[in-house]
Structure 1
Amino acid sequence: MASKYGNNKRQKEHGLLVTINKSIVADIKRNDIDRGQFANEIGTTGGVLANKLDRQNITNDFSITELIHIMEITGDYGPLKYLCEMFGFVMTSSESGESITIDQLNELTDEAQIEQAESFSTNKKAFKDGKITNEEKENMLKEGMEAMEAVKRQLDALKLIKTTEEEE
């Protein structure tokens, strides 16, 4: 018998799933592994990981422990930042003297361009029929926010990069 409280369950937060997935994809590319290998790293299978990332799958959710583990493995705290912003908080780092490599900046630049292209594409599709539905508006806002966040990460990284004059 199904639980009578099943309808009370909160829907998965699409933006958080996107952020987690981006962390995973970046880690997979950086380490030249496949999704199944990454899933094994966090103690699950590729199928279960796919279900947890699927917005429509209401059975499989990420636990807090899994989310922490993903952030530890990927070194990307984007999901935590997303949660902070979702509740009106700003995440700051307690580490001082951070630096960034040109390769990391290059990756952030690529991500910013990709996010901007996705936002552009989403908007153009919505404008085609001359009307905007609630779903289209939600998608445009989501893609626009993701593009702005990617550009902000790129700008924040630019502040940390050491120039050749600073290294001398």
Structure 2
Amino acid sequence: MSTLYLFASAAEPVFEVARVIEDAQADGWDVCLGLTPTAARWLAGSLDGLAVLTGHPVRWDYRLPGEPDVWPEASAILVAPATFNTVNQWALGITDTFVVGVVAEGIGRGIPTVAVPCLSAAYARHPQYERSVETLRGAGVSVLDGEVGGVGPHESAPFPWRLGLDAVRDWGAVPFGGG
């Protein structure tokens, strides 16, 4: 079975993550869930249940030196919802959080990675955001945003989880029904 690292930032769609994990598992993925520290705080009451659902501990912090890595190697990564802060830190290589550290390293390791940003139109107009999206795309990340990705700012529309899962599948990392 192929392993999907599902990394979520603190944006309202994170509250739907259990359903998304189930959808990814139905697609044939072994899912490992990573959260930004704020997203972990938001989901604090659900972390044990999410760990049972995935069969892996939910991670939001780096492991200590000498501790074993408790997750299998990633076949692909889906970063969704990816907030303004996460996208910019990732593009700039600021790896002070577990999620951003893993996805930044994932670029260098050639792991197929899809990002589905979740931010307001005001954030999307910030000049650094456009530069960050260009940087990530230039590094091989599929950023589903704007004209290239077909996804716009998420102020009221339903978050396109299925689009992100399909994009990871279409990358060729795992077919529907397992890998």
TM-score w.r.t. length of structure 2: 0.27
Greater strand content: 2
TM-score (norm 1): 0.29
Larger relative helix fraction: 1
